[in-house]
Every structure is written in structure tokens, then in C-alpha cells.
């Protein structure tokens, strides 16, 4: 599964990639995002596409238990996303794109894991990862937006690093995903030429180490 990623595009770069609307704002650069923290997601609003902060880890609107009881929902499997109770309603009605800069996977043995960063092969600033979002209200009525990444089987190139990978959409697929005209048929591995990989500092292994841009530099 994809359990850590980076997100540091500017508002202008997300606008260029996905035609978002609304006032410009400074998007916080994040270099080591872990589940349950806040990320930026693009969804279809009433007047156009908007970028909105959301919890990474989807909480369905029907959830009645405490927030701490929500299982790991930061990833949704492409093969079951249309049927699994946690995700099926959002799949039908509330889709989003998570504009990532890259994502991490690991190799090596337990206790000595080497992180690898995966980014666009052409250095594009935004990877459009397919996602779902939902709106949940706590017992006091306070609302919270949350999201999940859709993950699929790996490409042959990706398989040595992990048995899953995020679904990365291109321009036409972004439109079809957000407007609901596409189904699970587009939730496929990216072309092997779409991504590049390099090892980075093992400081990535520490959750909470998120604001340091040197984390994404290639390790010596």
C-alpha cells in the first residue's frame, strides 16, 4: 500500500494541471506525509474544481463509532473500491484527485529499511493520484472532510519495490474520474515510463519528519 508521500506543488502548478478555481493560497510544502494528517485534495465543487484540506484516511459519513476506531482507510484497493462498504458510496458520488509530488516505498530488511522516492519521469510537478472523499460529523456535529488514495497492482517495473502502487491519472482520465463517467476500468498501473525512482535519506523512516526539503534529495 502507499503509506507515505510528498506534496509540495504551488497553487499555480495545481491550477495548471487541473484547472482549479478559487482564491490563490500558499500551499504548505510537505515532504513526508503520513496517514491521518491533513493533505490537499481536488474535488468537483458546485462552480468548478476546488482544492480542499482533508484528513488522509477516509471516514464514511455513516460511521458511528469514535474517530480513533476507524480502520486503516488511507488506501482503497482498485479491485474492490466499488463494492467495499467503506468506499462504495464515495466511489459513486465523491471522487477526488490527490495532487502529489511523489511517493515513497522501501526495500531492505526490517530495522534497516531504505526509502525510495518515486516522482514523475518528466519532472512534472504534479502526479494526479485517484482518490475518494467523504464528509463525516462527530457526535457534537462538527464536520470533517477526509480522503483516500486508490491503489492498484504494480507495474513490472514497480513490483520489486512493492506489490501495490497509487493509480496515477492523465489529463483525460482526470476529467472522466471526477465527473463519474469512468469506472474501475481506468484504475490501472501507470506506464513504466511514467515514473522514476531514487533512494533518499533514511530520515524519511521517522514519522513526523515532514518539513525538511532535503528529505527528497537523492542519497549519496
pTM here? Answer: 0.96
pLDDT at position 193? 92
Q: How far apart are CA 85 and CA 83, in angstroms?
A: 6
pLDDT by position in tens, the chain (length 220):
789 999 999 999 999 999 999 999 999 999 999 999 999 999 999 899 999 999 999 999 999 998 999 999 999 999 999 999 999 999 999 999 999 999 999 999 888 899 999 999 999 999 999 999 999 998 888 899 999 999 999 999 999 999 999 999 998 899 999 999 999 999 999 998 999 999 999 999 999 889 999 999 999 7
pLDDT at position 153? 97
DSSP string, 48-107: SEEEEEEEES---TT--S-GGG----SEEETTTTTT-TTTHHHHHH-EEEEEESEEEEEE
Cα end-to-end distance, the chain, whole Å = 27
pLDDT at position 45? 92
User: Any residues with CB less than 8 A from the CB of 7 and at least 6 apart, and which?
Assistant: 27, 29, 30, 33, 39, 40, 98, 99, 100, 101
Residue 137's H or E segment, with its range, is strand 127-137
Between the CA of residue 209 and those of 26, 30, 82, 112, 199, what are the distances in Å?
A: 21, 10, 34, 18, 17
pLDDT at position 35? 97
User: Any residues with CB less than 8 A from the CB of 146 and at least 6 apart, and which?
Assistant: 54, 55, 56, 57, 58, 59, 73, 133, 134, 135, 136
Q: How far apart are CA 176 and CA 180, in angstroms?
A: 6
pLDDT at position 209? 87
DSSP 3-state of 28: coil
Closest CA to 30 of 7, 5, 54, 57: 7
Amino acid at each position: 500500500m502507499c503509506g507515505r508521500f510528498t506534496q509540495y506543488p504551488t497553487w499555480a502548478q495545481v491550477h495548471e494541471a487541473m484547472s482549479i478555481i478559487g482564491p490563490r493560497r500558499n500551499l504548505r510544502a510537505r515532504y513526508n506525509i503520513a496517514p491521518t494528517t491533513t493533505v490537499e485534495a481536488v474535488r468537483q465543487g458546485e462552480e468548478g474544481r476546488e482544492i480542499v484540506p482533508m484528513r488522509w484516511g477516509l471516514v464514511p459519513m455513516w460511521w458511528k463509532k469514535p474517530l480513533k476506531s476507524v480502520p486503516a482507510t488511507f488506501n482503497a484497493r482498485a479491485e474492490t473500491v466499488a463494492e467495499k462498504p467503506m468506499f462504495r458510496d464515495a466511489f459513486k458520488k465523491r471522487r477526488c484527485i490527490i495532487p502529489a509530488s511523489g511517493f515513497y516505498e522501501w526495500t531492505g530488511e526490517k530495522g534497516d529499511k531504505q526509502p525510495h522516492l518515486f516522482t514523475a519521469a518528466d519532472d512534472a510537478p504534479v502526479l494526479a493520484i485517484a482518490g475518494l472523499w467523504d464528509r463525516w460529523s462527530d457526535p457534537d456535529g462538527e464536520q470533517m472532510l477526509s480522503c483516500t488514495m486508490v491503489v492498484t497492482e504494480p507495474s513490472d517495473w514497480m513490483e520489486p519495490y512493492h506489490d501495490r502502487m497509487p493509480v496515477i491519472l492523465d489529463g483525460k482520465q482526470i476529467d472522466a474520474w471526477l465527473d463519474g463517467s469512468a469506472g474501475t476500468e481506468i484504475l490501472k498501473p501507470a506506464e513504466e515510463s511514467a515514473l522514476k525512482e531514487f533512494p533518499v535519506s533514511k530520515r524519511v523512516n521517522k514519522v513526523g519528519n515532514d518539513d525538511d526539503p532535503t528529505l527528497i534529495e537523492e542519497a549519496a
